[in-house]
């Protein structure tokens, strides 16, 4: 009876917290979420497809998108642009599908500015000790680099205030379960749906 619009969910959190692992576990299950496809200026690698893995564009095109505010967020990394195209996200939401974006804290804050109606989920380390271990266990980092990354992580945790939800990543499957609950609960959020329900009732009364 009700014409449902999709919701944009953003998973973010300090570096080392395990965002990628949680996102992978979430998409390894059956899910109705659509993973957000980024634009990039880097060249396609073997087997990568335009519109599936990335939207591949020339540098000038992406710079024009940035200028025209057509990206919900963007960053430059090793000489290439990466960003989230607003049009793709909005078309997917309009088709009734939820979009899921996993991204660094700085990118999430850009999305928040450009798309405040998104649902922002902050992945939280079980403890600072654990976060430190995870950063160290990535291997290649020197002691100085570990200290810097831990300091950066603490600063990123301060950004928690901008988020709607906080999920502790104590165990990947717990975190995934909580994210799935947040997705379902947000589809029951009265502020999002009250208008649609009222319309449905009115047409019901005709």
Which residues form the interface with its own copies (CB under 8 A)? Answer: 1-2, 121-122, 124, 126-129, 154, 157, 160-161, 163-168, 177-178, 180-182, 184-186, 188-190, 193-194, 197-198, 200-201, 204-205
- 99 burial class (0-12, 13-18, 19+ CB within 10 angstroms)? buried
Nearer to its own copies, 68 or 184 (CB): 184
C-alpha triplet 174, 53, 14: angle, nearest 5° = 40
Nearer to its own copies, 75 or 193 (CB): 193
136 contacts 146 by C-beta, under 8 angstroms: yes
Helix (H) or strand (E) holding 54: strand 54-56
Nearer to its own copies, 25 or 160 (CB): 160
CA atoms within 13 Å, Cβ hemisphere of 157: 16
**Minimal distance in Å, beta carbon 112 to its own copies?**
13
Structure tokens given for 57: 């564009």
**Minimal distance in Å, beta carbon 160 to its own copies?**
6
Q: Annotated binding residues for ATP, as ranges? A: 13-20
70/134 Cα distance (integer angstroms): 35
**Minimal distance in Å, beta carbon 136 to its own copies?**
16
Nearer to its own copies, 74 or 100 (CB): 100
110 contacts 73 by C-beta, under 8 angstroms: yes
**Minimal distance in Å, beta carbon 166 to its own copies?**
5
- Collect all residues with Cβ–Cβ distance below 8 Å to 45 and sequence separation of at least 6: none
**Minimal distance in Å, beta carbon 199 to its own copies?**
13
Residue whose structure tokens are 């992580």: 153
Nearer to its own copies, 59 or 154 (CB): 154
Q: Is 85 helix (H, G, I), strand (E, B) or coil?
A: strand
Q: Annotated binding residues, as ranges? A: 13-20
């Amino acid at each position: 009876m009700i014409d449902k619009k999709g919701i944009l969910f953003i998973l973010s959190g300090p570096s080392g917290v395990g965002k990628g692992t949680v996102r992978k576990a979430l998409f390894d299950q059956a899910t109705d979420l659509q993973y957000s496809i980024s634009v990039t200026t880097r060249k396609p690698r073997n087997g990568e497809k335009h519109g599936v893995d990335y939207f591949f564009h020339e540098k000038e095109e992406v710079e024009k998108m940035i200028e025209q505010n057509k990206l919900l967020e963007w960053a430059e990394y090793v000489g290439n642009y990466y960003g989230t195209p607003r049009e793709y996200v909005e078309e997917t939401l309009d088709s009734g599908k939820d979009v899921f974006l996993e991204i660094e804290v700085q990118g999430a804050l850009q999305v928040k500015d450009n798309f405040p109606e998104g649902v922002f989920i902050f992945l939280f380390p079980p403890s600072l000790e654990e976060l430190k271990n995870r950063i160290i266990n990535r291997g290649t980092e020197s002691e100085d680099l570990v200290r810097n990354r831990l300091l950066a992580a603490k600063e990123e945790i301060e950004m928690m205030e901008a988020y709607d939800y906080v999920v502790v990543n104590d165990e990947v499957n717990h975190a995934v379960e909580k994210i799935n609950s947040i997705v379902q609960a947000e589809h029951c959020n009265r502020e999002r749906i009250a208008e649609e329900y009222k319309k449905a009732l009115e047409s019901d009364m005709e």
